[in-house]
Amino acid sequence: MALGVPVVASEIGGLSEIVTHELTGLLVPSGDAMALSAACKRLVDDPDLKDAIVRAAREMVFERYSINSIGKQWMEMYQSLIDQQ
């Protein structure tokens, strides 16, 4: 996502927490090779969709997972632990 590559992922585990279908990537049912193939073809056939997904995914990654964002989340967690004492 951070490298500008559109994501097609299976709807398993925590992937759906990171990939929002048709916004930051495409989600397909686990084990469904036809759906995976169709999703990849869809991105090839629809460059506007691919570009929109790439933009939204990069924005989300840098907003949510940048060093500054992660550092801020850790500091907030530490502060909440200190405040509980």
Q: pLDDT tens digits, residue range 2-44?
A: 999 999 999 999 998 899 999 999 999 999 999 999 999 999 9
Full set of structural domains in the chain with CATH = 8-83 (3.40.50.2000)
Q: What is the helix (H) or strand (E) element at residue 43, kind and residue range?
A: helix 33-45
Q: What is the mean pLDDT of residues 59-85?
A: 92
Q: What is the pTM of this model?
A: 0.79
Instruction: Give the DSSP letter of residue 5.
Output: -
More confidently predicted of 54 and 17: 54
